A and B are shown apart, each in its own frame.
Chain A
Amino acid sequence: MGPALSLHPEAGCPEPPGLGDILRERGQREVFCGLTGIIWLHRKIQDAFFLVVGSRTCAHLLQSAAGVMIFAEPRFATAILEERDLAGMADAHDELDAIVDRLLLRRPDIKLLFLVGSCPSEVIKLDLGRAAQRLSNKHRPRVRILNYSGSGIETTFTQGEDACLAALVPEMPVAPPEENRALLIVGALPDIVEDQFRRLFDELGIGPVAFLPARSAEALPSLGPRTVYLLAQPFLADTARALDGRGATRLSAPFPLGAEGTTEWLRAAALAWGIPESRFDAVTAPGRERANRAIRRCEGALRNKRIFFFPDSQLEIPIARFLTRELGMIPVEIGTPYLHAEHLAPEIALLPSGTRISEGQDVDRQLERCRAEAPDLVVCGLGLANPLESEGLTTKWAIELVFSPIHGFEQAGDLAELFARPLARRERLRFAS
């Protein structure tokens, strides 16, 4: 038997000052892998198809996470590795080529195919980069074939989107040097939110504005040293690195969640474009007022309520900032699967000092902390929500924060409402007098 049996052999290690104490944990993670991003990415890029090269588990994950929500034939599938692929009885690359041929025959509408790596394909070192190149040569110009990894050994949930967008960056055309400065918004947003932001940038006089990912594979924006970009999502570390590598410049800002976050995010672009403050105020005031009005409706339900975040989408810190500053909630613990210190710095600066942030996860220990704190609201994944409800805690499914439009002024009220609803529901239900 190993060393003394103890449940708490290590405590969190302290962090350099500036970020406060961050609790870093390792253990069981109750978080999806990066493959899950396919569920919204295949809806966003309407002529793209995602082919996971993986195991039956990967296919089952996609189906279980998405199956209850998608009725139409999805634009994703899994090439399931079988015994003979692993035993070397079949050349995995030949098999993959045949599958891609069959797929493209069945779906002639597909313009962009992602080969998505998984845990098994990474472990057996199946070179999907090489496969993508080979298949691209074969199917060009009809279909462009790229690859990225959504494996659980490398990516957590929303990092799958990061890996996908990072794979798109080298494909973005080179902006001619004489071209004017352009703004690029990075991170998949629902079309309606994209349109709202586009109108705001137009009114501010900021442009041209492009979005990554674009709605279709052929509409990839161009990129160059005159490109300035704003991250719309907090989980895009690799994409940002790839954009920086092509000479683009990142604007640092809080993320566009809530009235304040949206204002500051827009302001970062306005400052870069030298838009006068009066104009900025005039353009953003109506949206900000609408957002504030909508947010106020939930304030009564949420003010002074204590909230606990289990790690899920990396949106936890910006959302906690919104709930704390605009709705008066009290963050007890903000768990995040991964904390990008640089991208999140403007967010953390806005959080109350001493807020407990945890990175990574040991789910059983975190559950112990959560029960001990007895928060008013717990934000957690689908595996934990019903068990915690049955223990008497009120929960909010984190996945809804990824699947529903929450960014921008017009969605700020909806975002607040997502947190108010579980509390309101608990208030409403009466089963005995």
Chain B
Amino acid sequence: MKLTIWTYEGPPHVGAMRIATAMHGLHYVLHAPQGDTYADLLFTMIERNSARPPVTYTTFQARDLGGDTAEIFQTAAREAYLRFKPEAMIVGSSCTAELIQDDPGGLAQALALPIPVIKLELPSYSKRENWGASETFYQIVRRLADPAARPTDKAGRRPRCNLLGATALGFRHRDDVAEITALLDRLGIDVALCAPLGASPADIAAIGTADFNILLYPEIADTTAKWLERSFGQPCVRAVPIGHGATCDFIAEVAKIAGVDPTAVLEGAPSRMPWYSRSVDSTYLTGKRVFIFGDATHAVAAARIAADELGFAVVGIGSYSREFAREVRAEAARHGVEALITDDYLDVEARIAELQPELVLGTQMERHIAKRLGIACAVISAPVHVQDFPARYSPQMGFEGTNVLFDSWVHPLVMGLEEHLLTMFRDDFEFSDRGGPSHLAGATVAKFPSRAAPIADDQTIVAAAPEPVATTATGPVWAAEAEKELRKIPFFVRGKARRNTEHFASQRGVDVITIGTLYDAKSHFAR
């Protein structure tokens, strides 16, 4: 038994739903009690899908137990076939149905439906969502792939690949697929099949006709890619194109396997990240202490980008993807830290509290933690939230993805110039750096987070308006040269500099503020 407040992954049948919902012409009959239909809202509300997931739930009740739950399953499967006319069906149990051991696979087979029926064994009490998605995709491909399908003669045609791993409810999968498809097109490569996202059972049958595979999301499709390698001899591109360097590696690997020349694509000044990161305003990013947590693929990619491409210091990295712990540990070793492999939210919270990073790159769960601790945060990985399906094009992969990452990771941080000003006026009640950067409206209300409070990434610096000069009759007087020096301070904090200096002077019984007093005050507040 394990105490859980929030979970990073749902049960494995939700993984199967992500595969079924990503595909066309596939229907999932799930033996499950009332209430398990909650999972529909993940797709219709979080992802805003305009259609219900292609899932039929048997909805058995307590009074059915020990009686006719098997018949309830068969009726549901039969009716689902008649109503939805799928090309193929997957059948399985949710956690409760697993306990009553009705064998949906056998029951569905007994119906002798005229379509392939794929039986799923997803152990709910030991496995989780991504494993369920991976296993489901693998079973579907194994069953439906036409063993005779092979690539046509390479002469006179562009190389063709399969894009593997994108699912429904994936973190930016929709945009990643578009970005990588366009990138491959520029390299002169066609995408024969993207699966599971957008594929039909008939498309899956032809999976062997591609020259090679691209494994976009190892958590979902690694098992399948390995099987395709063994069964069809399709080589697999394993570099995951998240970040500038990783995208360049990806292009090199693809070019080698496909036999194309990547020079033109690589030379096209493809992402702004390298220049933005070298530009002087980014100096303030240097050595920012960052903690990373997510699925293994995104966490590992984020660590490389953070260290090599933004100049951060990776002080911690972890993942809830136990299946890929080795990869995460290897990346952690590169940064001289110990990987945190856990799906216990409380462990992650404790580690962040202990490390006190300046930036958290995590999931929506780490966003909660970071908010509570008053730490900047950007979301890099599933589990997803409605905000992770932005209306705009917002890939994580490829060169445009790299631009998106620069923006979304840097914006939560204090901006370059602002950082110095915050240091200077640290204790001003209206300009407290404890409130966080001024361009993040939500940051100052960390204790009372609203339900919306987004990680704003579309707001520019909103600086304080010029302050009216307010000197009181009883307060200290400004010497002319000090007054002149004061005017050199940027207008939007000048009023506060004046007030802070006057406060400092009054406290010390200084009657005339000189340039010396001004800088004494600055050093006092900068502490």
A residues touching B (Cβ–Cβ < 8 Å)? 1-2, 5, 7, 27-36, 53, 55-57, 59-61, 63-65, 67-69, 71-74, 77-83, 85-86, 90, 92, 95-96, 98-99, 102-103, 119-120, 122-124, 151-154, 156, 364, 381-387, 389-390
Contacts and interface: CB of A to CB of B under 8 A. Distances in A.
Contacts, number: 200
B173 to A, nearest CB: 19
Interface stretch (B73-81, B184-192, B265-273): B73-81
B5 A1 contact: no
A383 B52 contact: yes
Interface of B: 1-7, 9-11, 13-14, 33-42, 44-46, 48-52, 56-62, 65, 74-76, 78-79, 82-83, 94-96, 99-100, 111-112, 123-126, 128, 364, 368, 371, 385-386, 449, 451, 453
Contacts of B57: 28-29
A246 B76 CA distance: 43
Contacts of A92: 1
Given A7-B83, A60-B10, A95-B1, A31 B35 contact: yes
Contacts of B1: 53, 79-82, 85, 90, 92, 95-96, 98-99
Nearest to B446: A71
Nearest to B71: A2
Given A79-B3, A86-B125, A57 B36 contact: yes
A33 B3 contact: no
B121 to A, nearest CB: 14
Contact of B125 (A55, A154, A385): A55
Contacts of B62: 122, 151, 153-154
A123 B41 contact: no
A55 B451 CA distance: 27
Nearest to B13: A57
A132 to B, nearest CB: 16
Contacts of B44: 382-387
Given A57-B10, A124-B99, A383 B40 contact: yes
B65 A123 contact: yes
A82 B125 contact: yes
Given A92-B1, A103-B3, 12 more contacts: A1-B78, A27-B59, A27-B76, A57-B14, A71-B368, A73-B5, A78-B7, A79-B4, A83-B126, A102-B3, A119-B33, A119-B95
Nearest to B111: A1
A33 B45 contact: no
B52 A7 contact: no
Contact of B37 (A30, A68, A103, A120): A30
Nearest to B447: A72
B42 A64 contact: yes
Give the 5 A-B residue pairs with the shortest CB-CB distance, closest first.
Answer: A33-B35, A152-B35, A383-B40, A390-B50, A95-B1
A102 B79 CA distance: 47
Contacts of B74: 2
B83 A82 contact: no
A7 B82 contact: yes
12 contacts: A2-B74, A36-B35, A56-B7, A57-B95, A60-B14, A61-B36, A64-B42, A79-B2, A80-B1, A82-B125, A151-B33, A153-B62
Given A31-B37, A60-B10, A2 B5 contact: no
A153 B10 contact: no
Contact of A384 (B52, B79, B371): B52
A173 B41 CA distance: 41
Contacts of A389: 50
Contacts of A120: 95-96, 99
A82 B126 contact: yes
Contacts of B65: 123, 153
B330 to A, nearest CB: 28
A120 B123 CA distance: 13
A28 B41 contact: no
Contacts of B79: 7, 27, 364
B125 A83 contact: yes
B464 to A, nearest CB: 28
Contacts of B33: 33, 119, 151-153
Contacts of B41: 64-65, 381-383
A383 B50 CA distance: 10
Contacts of A86: 99, 125
